[in-house]
Structure 1
Amino acid sequence: MTQTLSLAPFKSKLCSSLTKSKIKVLQINLGKRCNLACIHCHVEAGPKRTEELSPEVCQQLIQVIQTFPEIEIVDLTGGAPEMNYGFKPLVQAARNVGKKVIVRSNLVIYFESEFAYLPDFFAQHQLHVVASLPCYISDNVDKMRGSGVFDASIRALQWLNRLGYGKAPNLILDLVFNPQLPVSEEKFSLPPDQGKLEQTYKMFLQEHFGIVFNHLFTIANLPVGRSAGYLQRQKLYTPYLKFLESNFNASTVEHLMCRSELSVDYLGNVYDCDFNQMMNLPAKTRNDEVINITKILEAGTLDLIDEIQTAPYCYGCTAGSGSSCGGALVEE
């Protein structure tokens, strides 16, 4: 990774320090257990991973959810968040105090016998489902996520539609697009125009499968986790970072997801975003102390972070139209 020193430091692109705004989102990574092992997964989750939330950290997170009214959204991710300890208690605690809950679902988990209850559970608690479908073409999805995943994803989306998802105003179903990982420098690309691609997805899925959904989020592949490993094996890691740097868009900075969220791992450590979490770059106080859930509860405030921690992969969130857990940050 020392090759990245040839890049301009991300901070040099900013007019001022990158600071937090009002915290609205508590994003919780419940663990690395997953029934898939996608080649682009920045979490490096999979069926053989065992790391997950503990009961003690789960109770602390419930306390945070109940204590801080400024948290509007509890965003549950993983791994497959549904497979990891604490999923149901966190959902119920958040909904009981009126928080919106996002579950980042791989869809195919519903066909594991132990998890067949999930679609009904989602609808009962009016969870906002954000589902990975990195392409509307079968071969592309299966190459990224595993053989048969596209067909299972289609059946899962039809299941959610039958329950009212994508139709009822309180049952929101959003999909996520990721570009294919590049095979050469000539194949480097940013996500296409989000609005136009959303219309293409909607027409194709409606025509071929009768599927409806609310929104499409386009998310760039950041060089983190398995994506980073792939790029390094292909000797594309540094060229890809340079490509992202060359497409830096200053207008995305004020909309970055790291500004209004706290990201928490299964151990209770706090980060500015999920990518920093995977790269073990913890959030810090103005006194340069790392932050965890215990410190937040003791301090009685979410506002312990003075400056957001940055790294070269931040160029991935600020290239082109920008990229976040909610898709593009600005219109093209």
Structure 2
Amino acid sequence: MITSANTRLTPFAEKLDRPLTKQPITVLQINLGRRCNLACSHCHVEASPKRTEELTPEICEQLIEVIERFPQIQTVDLTGGAPEMNYGFKPLVEVARAQGKEVIVRSNLTIFFQAGFEDLPEYFAEHQLRVVASLPCYLEDNVDKMRGQGVYDESIKALQWLNKLGYGQDPDLVLDLVYNPPIPTQAEFSATPDQEALEPDYKAYLRQHFGIVFNRLFAITNLPIGRTKFHLQHRNLHQPYLQFLEAQFNAATIENLMCRNQLSVDYNGKIYDCDFNQMEDIPAQTPEGEPLTVGKLLTAGSLDVIGEVQTDAFCYGCTAGCGSSCGGSLV
């Protein structure tokens, strides 16, 4: 445990020895909406069953055109909320797979047991979707505290279901799990564990107790936005947590930051450098300072119109220690 003793937070841009420039876009991450069957305590999207915001048919058609027009896109990453519950999920899956793109679905697993969604595991397998599933711990009590009573049991059943279909075993059916540390409750903070060291523990426990296998574990730092930010502010820990993250800054993570080769799109068609900027309403900009939309990218005929990534204090969460991204550690 480390207690932060810093008194001033250095602006993130000042921490860098050069501007954080955008690289050629290869990943299109789409937030399909805020609808979800869960309301997890650490959710930076603040999704829940009460949220109604979701992709519109017009924006869905524009995104389909983007996927079809730009072969440089290698991965279409679908998130939410529960992406499967929001408009456009299957049309976007099918056009992306028809174009030969990798498609990631960020699933909470429990959606499989909701009425009307029982076909999802077979659908995932049929279209060879890469499943990235939240399981913030391999122990029941920790998971249910973060995600709700009974979520652990349903998640285990869902993982067993996916295994029966070949996930975690067939090289075309990739199943990755996501670890999130608990939200701090006092001013003593721990760095996110090394995912390479934590993964064998996950694999041994899940195989021994449930016969579950999976491909990779991603350890993701809780960034101080959304519900995590609310909980930290409620305990007067928001600024100390940012100071702790700054103290763990690792310049070696910069080259691999996900914001550099990714576009994040919200359900209104607005463009951001990453999902975290999206949640904090920090839009991506052209070199002239113009915010972007999917429609503007189509008009420009290019995905590579952003000069520099927009940064904020929470970027320290992605650059602390081994780094953090939607694909786990960076170094």
Partner residue of 1:115 out of 114, 117, 133: 117
Give 2:147's aligned residue: 145
Range moving further from structure 2, 13-22 or 49-58 = 13-22
Give the Cα–Cα distance (whole angstroms) in 1 for the partners of residues 263 and 307 of structure 2: 13
Query: What is the rounded CA distance, in whole Å, between the counterparts of 1:195 and 1:250 in structure 2?
Result: 20
Give the Cα separation in 1 of the matches to 2:321 and 2:99: 37
Separation in structure 1 between the aligned mates of residue 269 and residue 210 of structure 2, nearest angstrom: 41
CA–CA distance in 1 between the matches of 2:78 and 2:119?
A: 17
After superposition, residues 90-169 of structure 1 pair within 5 angstroms as: 90-169=92-171
Identity in percent: 65
Deviations 1:205-240 (A, max 9, x none): 000000000000000000000000000001100000
Alpha-carbon separation, structure 2, partners of 1:100 and 1:238:
38
Corresponding position of 2:326: 325
Shift of 1:183: 1.1
What are the residue-to-residue correspondences of 1:230-309 with 2, within 5 Å? 230-309=231-310
In 2, Cα distance between equivalents of 1:47 and 1:208: 31
Distance 1:156 1:96 in 2: 27
CA deviation profile, 1:119-154 (whole Å, cap 9, x unmatched): 000000000000000000100000000000001000
SS, match of residue 6 in structure 1:
coil
SS in 2 for 1:53: coil
Say yes or no: does 1:43 pair with 2:48: no
Report the equivalent of 2:3: none
Which string of whole-angstrom CA distances, capped at 9 and with x for unpartnered residues, describes residues 142-171 of structure 1? 000000000100000000000000000000
Quick one: distance in 2 between partners of 1:247 and 1:145? 27
The whole-number CA distance in structure 2 between the counterparts of 1:311 and 1:222 is 11
Cα distance in structure 1, aligned partners of 2:59 and 2:185: 41
State the distance in 1 between where 2:294 and 2:39 align: 29
> Does 1:189 find its partner at 2:196?
no
Q: Equivalents in 2 of 1:82, 1:136: separation in Å?
A: 24
Q: 1: CA distance between counterparts of 2:222 and 2:300?
A: 36
Give the Cα separation in 2 of the matches to 1:278 and 1:10. 18
Corresponding residue number in structure 1 for 2:69? 67
Shift of residue 191, structure 1, vs aligned partner: 1.3
Tell me the residue number matched to 1:212. 213
**Residue type of the alignment partner of 2:196:** G
Cα offsets for 1:257-298 (capped at 9, x unmatched): 000100000000000000000000000000000000000000
Distance 1:5 1:114, change over 3 A: farther
- The SS at the match of 1:113 is coil
Asked if 1:175 is matched to 2:183, the reply is: no
Distance 1:15 1:52, change over 3 A: same
CA distance in 2, matches of 1:293, 1:9: 30
Please give the alpha-carbon distance, in whole angstroms, between the structure 2 residues aligned to 1:193 and 1:270. 31
Structure 1 gaps of 5+ residues are: none
Match of 1:315 in 2: 316
SS of residue paired to 2:146: helix
Q: Per the alignment, in what secondary structure is the counterpart of residue 288 of structure 1? A: coil
Where in structure 2 are the equivalents of 1:69-84 lying within 5 Å? Answer: 69-84=71-86
Q: Distance in 1 between matches of 2:12 and 2:40?
A: 28
Deviation of 1:5 after TM superposition, in Å, equals 10
Aligned partners of 2:21, 2:32: CA distance in 1, in Å? 26
Matched residues in 1 for 2:322 and 2:294: separation?
Answer: 33
Q: How far off its partner does 1:113 sit?
A: 1.8
String of CA shifts for 1:303-325, please: whole Å, max 9, x gaps. 11011000000000000000000
Secondary structure of the residue aligned to 1:102 is strand
Displacement of 1:190: 1.8
Large movers: runs of 4+ above 6 Å? none
CA distance in 2, matches of 1:280, 1:194: 30
Q: Distance in 2 between matches of 1:125 and 1:37?
A: 28
Q: Are 1:223 and 2:224 counterparts?
A: yes
Cα distance in 2 between the residues matched to 1:196 and 1:216: 10
Give the Å deviation of 1:6: 3.5
- Distance in 2 separating the partners of 1:146 and 1:121: 26
The Cα of 1:22 is off from its aligned counterpart by: 1.4
